[in-house]
Structure 1
Amino acid sequence: MTAADRPTPDSPTPDRTVPTSPAQANPAQTKTAQTKTAQAEATPTGAAQARSAASGAGAAAPGRTRSAKTAPAAANHLHAVTGGGVASPVFEVPDYRTTFGWPVDGDAFGAYLDLGGEIRGLRMRSGLGAEVQWWLRPRMLSGPVLAVPGEHSEWTFLTQPAPEGHRKPLPPGIEPVRARVLLPTGRTPRSTVFWATPPDPAQPSLPQFASVVGAVRAVLYGHRR
């Protein structure tokens, strides 16, 4: 190569740009492929396949929508059982004594009720308690339920005394309460105890002991006694 053939700094450099896409590499091939696709979709079979592919790409969205709608429904269902969606009424010691006729004692910390005598208590885990209360409610057999929150939250159903001579074993998962319990007042933190189902001044009578026990059996054993 002679000096005349060497490129000088001012000489233009040959264009060596590499195509970055098929369209840039070969526009004729891209146009041919687009034509074939349009022809395929013009046939009934091709159109059906195109619609099927489009619907398959978005098939997951309706499922997620149904799940999102189901979660609030489940929460509302639980609130209907526990009264969690409505502010619980506040009762003080005189209310428990005069409105409901319960033998309640009180001090600066709250109200106290002795269970095991004229008022019985049946304690169970909160999950089972919610199902039992749901079974009792439409049968007009539900009553007040105390809730003690915690890692293993528990519900205590208040009932009338057990029938005289009652000796039948209780179903698994529930136990009678024979102790002094704290009742919620306006000064009681909800983190200590609260009414899962508060007592109703319009219906102050407590459910029968046998009704709650029967509801537990119905939930555990599928309505078998």
Structure 2
Amino acid sequence: MLRSENRLLLTTDHVVSAVEMPAGVGAEVQRYLGVRMLGGPVVVLPGRRGERWLILTESADEASQVNLIRLRARGALTHRLGTLVPLPPSRVDGGGVRWLGSVPSGRVGLPPFSAVVAALRAVTETSAF
């Protein structure tokens, strides 16, 4: 982690990645994962066009380009190796970054990246891939 002015930044690496999506879709994805006991920590990013959620996952470094393109087509961005993502209590243009639910403590389980891809596909099935 890196601290910069009013931000605490997580550097994605070979252990952790993040999938960013609109909050509405993120809530459905998190619910889908939770039912399967795969839910993990979520960072809520405020914004002028609405909140976006960062679902922290196991590394996406080995993800196929096809899956990355499919996620992007659904409005999701994948933050992989070397990307900096804000963590609470960072401040961004839209306001304060926060955790969804309770603050993670100790060793936190992260869902596999592939599970987040599958969840996003499942909750947005009506769109063609």
Match of 1:118 in 2: 15
Deviation (angstroms), 1:116? 5.3
Residue 216 in structure 1 maps to residue 113 in structure 2: no
Aligned partner of 2:105: which letter? Answer: P
- The answer to whether the 8 Å contact 1:145/1:198 transfers is no
Aligned partner of 1:155: which letter? Answer: W
Runs (4+) of structure 1 exceeding 6 A deviation are none
Aligned partner of 2:104: which letter? Answer: D
C-alpha distance in structure 2 between counterparts of 1:125 and 1:175, whole Å: 10
Tell me the secondary structure at the aligned position of residue 136 of structure 1: helix
Deviation (angstroms), 1:141? 0.4
Structure ranking higher on relative contact order (CA contacts 8 Å, 6+ apart): 2
Match of 2:97 in 1: 193
Aligned partner of 2:11: which letter? Answer: D
Match of 2:27 in 1: 130
Deviation (angstroms), 1:204? 1.1
Q: Which of the numbers 43, 60, 63 marks the counterpart of 1:146?
A: 43
- The answer to whether the 8 Å contact 1:122/1:176 transfers is yes
Deviation (angstroms), 1:163? 6.5
Deviation (angstroms), 1:176? 0.9
Structure 2: stretches of 5+ with no match in the other structure: none
Match of 1:162 in 2: 60
Aligned partner of 1:166: which letter? Answer: S
C-alpha distance in structure 2 between counterparts of 1:160 and 1:212, whole Å: 10
Aligned partner of 1:215: which letter? Answer: A
Deviation (angstroms), 1:200? 3.3
Deviation (angstroms), 1:144? 0.8
Deviation (angstroms), 1:134? 1.0
Deviation (angstroms), 1:111? 1.8
Tell me the secondary structure at the aligned position of residue 95 of structure 2: coil
After TM superposition, the score normalised by the length of structure 2 is 0.74
C-alpha distance in structure 2 between counterparts of 1:197 and 1:141, whole Å: 15
Deviation (angstroms), 1:177? 2.0
Structure 1: stretches of 5+ with no match in the other structure: 1-103
Deviation (angstroms), 1:181? 1.8
C-alpha distance in structure 1 between counterparts of 2:13 and 2:61, whole Å: 13
CA RMSD of aligned residues (A): 2.8
Higher strand fraction: Structure 1 or Structure 2?
Answer: 2
C-alpha distance in structure 1 between counterparts of 2:34 and 2:125, whole Å: 18
Tell me the secondary structure at the aligned position of residue 207 of structure 1: coil
After TM superposition, the score normalised by the length of structure 1 is 0.45
Deviations 1:131-167 (A, max 9, x none): 1111111211011111111232211111111273634
* Structure 1 segment 1-225 matched on structure 2, within 5 A: 104-107=1-4, 109-115=6-12, 117-150=14-47, 151-162=49-60, 164=62, 166-169=64-67, 170-171=70-71, 172-178=74-80, 179-185=83-89, 191-198=95-102, 200-201=104-105, 204-221=108-125
Deviation (angstroms), 1:180? 1.2
Pairs aligned (count):
119
User: CA 1:191–1:127 in structure 2 vs 1: closer, same or farther (change >3 Å)?
Assistant: same
- The answer to whether the 8 Å contact 2:14/2:61 transfers is no
Higher helix fraction: Structure 1 or Structure 2?
Answer: 1
Deviation (angstroms), 1:203? 5.4
